[in-house]
Structures are given as structure tokens and as C-alpha cells.
Amino acid sequence: MSVVDELDGDGLQAALRDETRGVFVDFWSPWCGPCRILRPHLHAMAEERLADWRFVAVNTEAHPDVAEEFDVVSLPTLALFRNGEELDRLTGGVTLSSVVGKLDQFSEARL
């Protein structure tokens, strides 16, 4: 079982509404090279941060309506939510250190 849940629009809305932890959303697509490179690292990061974050992924090729709803215009787009509100997002040339920095910045322990 993966620690990153693959969701559609309804699943994402439910996660944003119901999740008590922060929600880290990876908007990706199979044709996106940087997305494919980043995904294994995000899965490893998810295993380490399950206490503070629920990691989910949305395939924007399979769910273009969700990408449009969340104003995703560049891939990868990584968005952080808490209590249904977007805290921040990283897009395009995302580095692992920038992802770690954002997760640290918005972790429960730091709020």
C-alpha cells in the first residue's frame, strides 16, 4: 500500500474537507519528466511525515477538470493545504530542498 493516495476531484475535496493533518497535493501527469523524477522522492518523504501530512496525488491528464479547478497551469504543482485552505504552492522547477522547507515551515510543530 502506498503512502500517497491517488485521488480524483471528489476524493481531493473530501480530503481537504475531512483531513485533520495538512494535505500535500502533488498535481502531476505521466508525460511530465520532472514529475516522474520527483515522485519517488515525494513517496519517501511521505513515509517520514505521515504524522503531520497526508500526501495525495492528482493525475492531471486523467482529471483535467481538477487541474482547472485548482488553477494548475504548470507541472509539477505541489500545493499545501490545512483546514481546506491553501497555505502555499510550488510549481515548475521544484527542488527537494524547497519541498522540505515548505513542509517544515507549515508543520504542526511550527504553527
| Residue 32 falls in the annotated catalytic set | yes
Three-class SS of 19-77 = CCCEEEEEEECCCCHHHHHHHHHHHHHHHHCCCCEEEEEEECCCCHHHHHHCCCCCCCE
| Residue 50 falls in the annotated catalytic set | no
Tell me, rounded to whole angstroms, the distance of Cα 94 from its chain centroid. Answer: 12
- Residue 53 near residue 21, CB atoms below 8 Å: yes
Catalytic residue selected from 4, 32, 87, 100: 32
What single DSSP character describes residue 89?
Answer: E
Catalytic residue selected from 35, 56, 57, 67: 35
Residues noted as catalytic? 32, 35
